[in-house]
Amino acid sequence: MHILSRNKGAILLGLAPALILYVVFAILPIVISFYYSLMDWDGLSEMEFIGLANFTEALNDDVFWQALVNNLYVVGASVFGQIPIALFVALLLNRKLRAGKLFRTLGFMPVVLSTVIISLVWGLMYNSRNGLFNQLLESVGLESWTQNWLGDPTWAMVSVCITIIWQFVGLYMIIFLAALQNIPREIYEASEIDGASGWKQTIHITLPMMWNTVVVAVMLCISGSLRTFDLIYVMTAGGPGHSTEVLAMYMFENTFNATRYGYGSAISLFIFFFSLALVFLSRVVLRRKNID
Amino acid sequence: MTKVEASTTNNKRKVQFTSGRSIKSTMIYIVLSIYGLINVYPLIWMFINSFKSNAEFAKDSFGLPEVWQFENYARAWETANLDVYFLNSLIVSVTAVIVTVFAGAMASYFLSRFVFKGRKVLQSFFVFGLLIPIHATLVPMFILMRNIGLLDTHIGLILPYVAFNLPITIFLLVSFMESFPKDIEESAVMDGCGVFRIFWSIILPMTRPAIATVVILNVINNWNEFSFALVLINDDALKTLPYGLANFSGQYTTDYGSQMAGLTLAVIPIVIIYLLLEKQLVKGMTAGAVKG
Specify whether the CB–CB gap between A93 and A104 falls below 8 A. Answer: yes
Q: Which residue has the higher pLDDT, B146 or B55?
A: B146
- B154 exposed, middle or buried (CB, 10 Å; 0-12, 13-18, 19+)? middle
How far CA A174 is from CA of A113, A169, A198, B159, in Å, comes to 16, 9, 22, 30
Instruction: Point out the least confidently predicted range of A89-93, A133-137, A151-155, B139-143.
Output: A133-137
pLDDT score for B139: 86
- Looking at chain B, which residue has its C-alpha nearest residue A114? B224
Under the banding of pLDDT at 50, 70 and 90, the label for residue A219 is confident
pLDDT top residue among A195 and B278: B278
Could you tell me if A48 and A40 are in contact, meaning their C-beta atoms sit under 8 angstroms apart? yes
- Is it the case that residue A140 has pLDDT exceeding 80? yes
B275, closest residue in chain A (CA to CA):
A105
Q: Tell me what the mean pLDDT of segment B63-72 comes to.
A: 84
Nearest CA to CA, how far is A90 from chain B (Å)?
10
Domain membership flag for residue B179: yes
Q: Are A147 and A128 in contact (CB under 8 A)?
A: yes
CATH number (domain holding residue B199): 1.10.3720.10
- Number of structural domains in chain B: 2
- Please say whether the beta carbons of A85 and A169 come within 8 A: yes
Closest alpha carbon to B160 in B216, B232, B103, B217: B232
Q: Would you call A271 and B136 a contact, using CB atoms and an 8 Å cutoff?
A: yes
**Is A227 in Cβ contact with B263 (below 8 Å)?**
no
Query: Which of B36, B45, B271 lies closest to A107 in CB terms?
Result: B36
Q: Is the pLDDT of residue A282 over 80?
A: no
Same domain, B45 and B80: no
Residues B190, B254: one domain? yes
- In-domain check, residue B64: no
Indicate if the pLDDT at residue A74 is higher than 50.
Answer: yes
Assess whether pLDDT exceeds 60 at residue B8: no
Mean pLDDT on A50-62: 92
Distance to chain B for A259, nearest Cα, Å: 10
Positive or negative, the CA dihedral B97, B99, B102, B104 is negative
Residue B147 reports pLDDT greater than 70: yes
Q: Of A18-27, A159-168, A239-248, B243-252, where does mean pLDDT reach its minimum?
A: B243-252
- Domain residue extents for chain A: 56-286
Q: B235 with B135, same domain?
A: yes
- Answer yes or no: is B42 within a domain: yes
Q: Is residue B67 part of a domain?
A: no
Among the listed residues B290, B241, B284, the one whose alpha carbon sits nearest the alpha carbon of residue B89: B241
Contact A268, A33 (CB under 8 A): yes
B227 occurs within a structural domain: yes
For the ranges A84-98, A202-216, B83-97, the maximum mean pLDDT occurs at B83-97
pTM value? 0.87
- Which pairing describes strands A48-49 and A39-40: parallel, antiparallel, or unpaired? antiparallel
Before B167, cis peptide (omega within 30)?
Answer: no
Closest by Cα among B113, B228, B244, B116 to B165: B228
CA B15-B20-B25 angle, 5° bins: 125
ipTM: 0.86
Residue B65 resides in a domain:
no
Identify which of A30, A124, A177 has the shortest CB distance to residue B137.
A30
A161-210 pLDDT, tens digit each: 999 999 999 999 998 998 888 888 888 888 878 777 777 888 888 888 88
Task: Look up the domain containing B215 and give its range.
Answer: 73-291
| Nearest-CA distance B1 → chain A (Å) | 31
Residue A69: pLDDT band (50, 70, 90) is very high
Show the 3-state SS of A137-187.
Answer: HHHCCCHHHCCCCCCCHHHHHHHHHHHHHHHHHHHHHHHHHHHHHCCCHHH
Flag if A112 and B220 touch (Cβ within 8 Å). Answer: yes
In a domain, B226, yes or no: yes
Say whether residue A221 is in contact with chain B using an 8 A CB cutoff. no
Same domain assignment for residues B217 and B164: yes
- Establish if B240 belongs to a structural domain: yes
Rounded to an integer, what distance in angstroms lies between the CA atom of residue A175 and that of residue B291?
10
Please report, for residues B94, B104, B163, the alpha-carbon distance to residue B98 in angstroms, rounded to integers and kept in the order given: 6, 10, 12
Phi, psi of A40 (to 5 degrees): -105, 115
DSSP per-residue string spanning chain A: -TGGGG-HHHHHHHHHHHHHHHIIIIIHHHHHHHHHTTEE--SSS--EE-TTHHHHHHHT-HHHHHHHHHHHHHHHHHHHHHHHHHHHHHHHHTS--TTHHHHHHHHHHHHHS-HHHHHHHHHHHH-TTT-HHHHHHHHTT-GGG---TTTSHHHHHHHHHHHHHHHHHHHHHHHHHHHHHTS-HHHHHHHHHTT--HHHHIIIIIHHHTHHHHHHHHHHHHHHHHT--HHHHHHTTT-STTTT--HHHHHHIIIIIS--HHHHHHHHHHHHHHHHHHHHHHHHHHHHHHH-
Q: Which residues of A touch B103 (CB under 8 A)?
A: 17-18, 21
Neighbour-count burial of B264, counting CB atoms closer than 10 A to its CB (0-12 exposed, 13-18 middle, 19+ buried): buried
Banded pLDDT at A6 (limits 50, 70, 90) = low
| B141: closest CA of chain A, how far (Å) | 6
The pLDDT of residue A245 is: 94
Range of weakest confidence among B44-48, B122-126, B209-213: B209-213
* CATH fit for domain A56-286, picks 2.40.50.1070, 3.90.209.20, 1.10.10.1100, 1.10.3720.10: 1.10.3720.10
Q: What integer is the mean pLDDT of A144-162?
A: 89
Residue B24 banded pLDDT, cuts 50, 70, 90 = confident
Q: Please give the pLDDT value at position A3.
A: 52
CB contact under 8 A, B260 and A124: yes
- Residue of chain B nearest A235, judged by CA positions: B246
Share of chain A above pLDDT 90, in %: 48
Of B15 and A116, the structure prediction assigns the larger pLDDT to A116
